[in-house]
Structure 1
Amino acid sequence: METQHFIAVDLGATSGRVILATVAKERTDMETLHRFSNRLVCTGGKYYWNIYALYEEIVEGLRLAARRGVPVRSIGIDTWGVDMAFVAEDGTLAGLPRAYRDPYTGGIPEEFFRTIPRREVYERTGIQFMNFNSLYQLCAARKEGSAALKHASKILFMPDALSYLLTGEAVCEYTVLSTSQFMNPHTKRPDAELLAAAGIDASLFPRVVMPGERIGVLTDSVAHQTGLGPVPVVAVAGHDTGSAVAAVPAENERFAYLSSGTWSLMGIELPEPVIDDRTYTLNFTNEGGVDGTARLLKNITGMWLLEQCRTAWAREGKEYSYTDIMRMTEAAAPSGATIDPDAAEFAAPTDMPAAIRAYCRDHGLTEPADDAATMRLIFDSLAAKYAEVLQKLRQLAPFDIECLHVIGGGAQNELLNRLTATACGIPVVAGPTEATALGNVMVQARTAGMVGSLAEIRQHIRRSVRTRTYNPEKR
């Protein structure tokens, strides 16, 4: 296997990175060339993503890669799901993409269910009901008379919009389409009837591509700006969780995964979606994965609570590093009770610590006495929520779940991993922290002919990363 170099662009809801990966026979090594913030833009009471700023940061990362003087085989982009950009007839973007944190979808699902009943929507898509799903964003945009939507000739999900800016080629990548709640999970195409009920023509969505398909090459302009030349852009699992799950270093299929970041996503990997009375009642989602697999999972609010607390504390002049947080939570006493991380009160508060205190008062719980107690309450609550969701997964899984693989940034959180192992009653295998970028790179490497099956990808990743196992402790 000849050594090859790939670029992974990994964008989250709060930050992004451009990574240069070197893939050899025995292992993959990654270097972050460029790291940057991703901030919501709020204007006129509406929340947007500054896609042009993201594009500029990506171009800067590609420019840094070119300076290394190594031949880059391809580029892949992954982002969060559901959000979309509208492309006008002249090929330019019609405004900034709306952000899923915008409250404009409040009450929209209930309005839509008067046209197509809730149960039928689930049976047609297998997707967990969340206010901000793409289906309801389109309904909300149409309801408010969005000029961008009115003049759209194409609708692109976020990773596809960024690859469009780089290549000029418009595609609709399967895994990110699967988050929309308007994809038929059997045909893997947009459901024209659901979209029509939202007032949207399905032809606005371009051709669907699967992870591993080539999208195009960098435009002459981008090739010149960056100095990379006409490098191909490959569709990876455009939804970041799809890329992350591809990088789970599992030895067999009897595992659950927890992709831990701003959001926590817990689920299992299956060859086909599971859409029945149980998954409907439990509100589980069936998202697309690499090789057409289904990711039966639950979205859980994750480190969003802690991130927003840190933002609020920083405004007060209290800057807590990751090391500070670990030290303070280890020293704090276990919480007497827990909060629900998914409570509506925590979706987009202006002051998260105040929202947590108010939630405790409203539910008869003791308010955290200080910042350390607030951090510990968040960790204890997340562990309890993970145990609750895992118990439901056990009811749905066609196999015994033997361990929980924690991937993403949360894999570094030793206290939370210990609490989770104890709450769930099974071993927690933590790592890799860079799962999303690794999955992104390995799909590109497979397109280049360097690895074969998904099992081979995971075997290669086991050789490339170190993991740590946490066993349940006595309560």
Structure 2
Amino acid sequence: MIDCLAVDIGASSGRVILGSLQNDRIDLEEIHRFENGMVEKNGQFCWELNRLFEEIKIGIKKCRDLAVQPVSIGIDTWAVDFVLLDEQDQLLTEAVAYRDPRTNGIMEEVDEIISREDLYAKTGIQFLTFNTIYQLYSLKKNHPEILRKAKSFLLIPDYLHFLLTGKKVNEYTNATTTQLVNASTKEWDQDIITKLGFPLEMFQEIQKPKTNLGGLKKELNEEFGFDMEVILPATHDTGSAVIAVPEVEPTIYLSSGTWSLMGVENHFPICSPKALSYNFTNEGGIDGRFRVLKNIMGLWILQEIRRNFENRYSFAELAELAKTSGINSIIDVEDDRFLKPDHMVEEIQAYCQETKQTIPETPGEIAKCIFISLAERYKQVALELEKLFGNTYQKINIIGGGAQNAYLNQLVADGTKKEVHVGPVEATTIGNLVAQYIALGGIENIDQARTIIKDSFTVDKYSPKSNEEVESYEC
């Protein structure tokens, strides 16, 4: 049996999960769960990295208390956000969150230096206002003294791995989301970095998933009472999640959570004008693969309306209320106005009023508006993927926490006219563990891993209803 720890941290919570591989089966046990979220510091929305690291340490100590000694540990988080360290490895910046408005208007300024066509041809990355490239340019514009002092650039999981090991690297899958990595060479694009005036020396050597960084720092070894290897998973949480799609044949995947990531795994990047016109991204994956996908706002919108309603309704209750609602208004879930509005419910209502649709009023109507809007966007992206690849896909695999929403799953099946396979829910954690198991020799390769995942975890299926049974939307 091989025991490994996967640390999976999302925008609202984090988990330390023990994964046990034995007899071609993976079993999961939650060791520690903790909250995460943005806090306001000096007028900016930031992540509490020191607290998150303390939560990771608590999870490791709980293993000790359970008399479990994992062989290795790996950390995955969301993408694009980073910290800068000075020559003494001290933080120069807070970990500013991607929803902070500091990048407003920055994309257009970068366009004046490097055209979108040239930037996309080099990186193949989707244009999003909060990409690392725009965060860094905002810092250069408003706080150039910080960049002048910067000696190390570390994305969030890179920094957490540094705290464990004392070693500074930039992991490949997360590095690609910065829009600063060349899709062909899989290395930092020095031309882009130089043109934008970023210090080239602050970027670390890019390391691929499955890289073993070695053991824990001595003081942590002593604190925990045992040592373990620190192995890089795909540190971008979607990169780990896609590893756990239980399919060997090509399929459309939808990683459903705070963000929805919908795409196809490919063995080379597609940086063509057609891919640019669809604004698809070519994020790095394990074993040199690429995740050709679209970032969609996702269940963040639903999370925010729950907050607006003071969390009086669970996700399941909102889905039930939505089922009985007659409203069919839809919103553009990718509109930046929904990235971090002051009040999500009011923003949705304003959008429907501006587009001359029925204004949702009740919790059920607002929830249904979100659900059918997401399903409509998934349908559009599925069609774009098929046009881009010149292929017709027979099914969609939904993974991640959002896969637990049966109402949305059925809407996706109805809208796309495809069979929808759902699960595993813990895809990110499983993909994190798989990278460690392969590095340790417990699993041979990704194909074997996906067969094991298919046998270890339940997958539900949803078939599309007939046209007569499916509701129509207002627009």
Could you tell me the TM-score, scaled by structure 1's length? 0.96
2-structure distance, mates of 1:337, 1:310: 19
Code of the residue aligned with 1:244 in structure 2: it is: A
- The answer to whether 1:459 aligns with 2:451 is yes
Code of the residue aligned with 2:369 in structure 1: it is: L
2-structure distance, mates of 1:87, 1:473: 54
Equivalent runs, 1:68-107 vs 2, <5 Å: 68-107=66-105
Equivalent runs, 1:55-454 vs 2, <5 Å: 55-145=53-143, 147-227=145-225, 229-253=226-250, 255-314=251-310, 319-333=312-326, 335-454=327-446
SS at match of 1:76: strand
- Alpha-carbon offset, residue 323 of structure 1: 3.2
- Alpha-carbon offset, residue 223 of structure 1: 2.0
Where in structure 1 do 4 or more consecutive aligned residues deviate above 4 Å? none
- Alpha-carbon offset, residue 452 of structure 1: 1.3
- Alpha-carbon offset, residue 88 of structure 1: 1.4
- Alpha-carbon offset, residue 37 of structure 1: 1.2
2-structure distance, mates of 1:203, 1:460: 42
1-structure distance, mates of 2:277, 2:257: 26
Code of the residue aligned with 1:232 in structure 2: it is: E
- Alpha-carbon offset, residue 398 of structure 1: 4.7
Code of the residue aligned with 2:236 in structure 1: it is: H
- Alpha-carbon offset, residue 51 of structure 1: 0.6
- Alpha-carbon offset, residue 147 of structure 1: 4.8
Deviation by residue 1:239-278 (Cα, 9 ceiling, x = unmatched):
000000000001412x100000000000001110011111
Between 394-403 and 153-162, report the one with greater CA deviation: 394-403
2-structure distance, mates of 1:118, 1:278: 13
Query: Alpha carbon RMSD of aligned pairs, Å?
Result: 1.2
Alignment partner for residue 21 of structure 1, among 19, 22, 33? Answer: 19
1-structure distance, mates of 2:222, 2:14: 23
Code of the residue aligned with 1:276 in structure 2: it is: S
2-structure distance, mates of 1:226, 1:366: 58
Question: Which sections of structure 1, spanning at least 5 residues, go unmatched?
Answer: none
Code of the residue aligned with 1:245 in structure 2: it is: V
Code of the residue aligned with 1:230 in structure 2: it is: D
1-structure distance, mates of 2:318, 2:3: 36
Contact preservation (8 Å) 2:2, 2:21 = yes
Q: Residue in 1 aligned with 2:473?
A: none
Q: Residue in 1 aligned with 2:2?
A: 4
Contact preservation (8 Å) 2:147, 2:199 = no
1-structure distance, mates of 2:130, 2:189: 18
Contact preservation (8 Å) 2:316, 2:405 = no
2-structure distance, mates of 1:97, 1:449: 35
Could you tell me the TM-score, scaled by structure 2's length? 0.96
Between 239-248 and 146-155, report the one with greater CA deviation: 146-155
2-structure distance, mates of 1:398, 1:57: 46
SS at match of 1:86: strand
Deviation by residue 1:40-79 (Cα, 9 ceiling, x = unmatched):
1212321111110111111111111122212311001101
SS at match of 1:440: helix
Contact preservation (8 Å) 1:8, 1:441 = yes
Corresponding pairs, count: 467
Contact preservation (8 Å) 2:63, 2:69 = no
- Residue identity (%): 38
2-structure distance, mates of 1:81, 1:95: 17
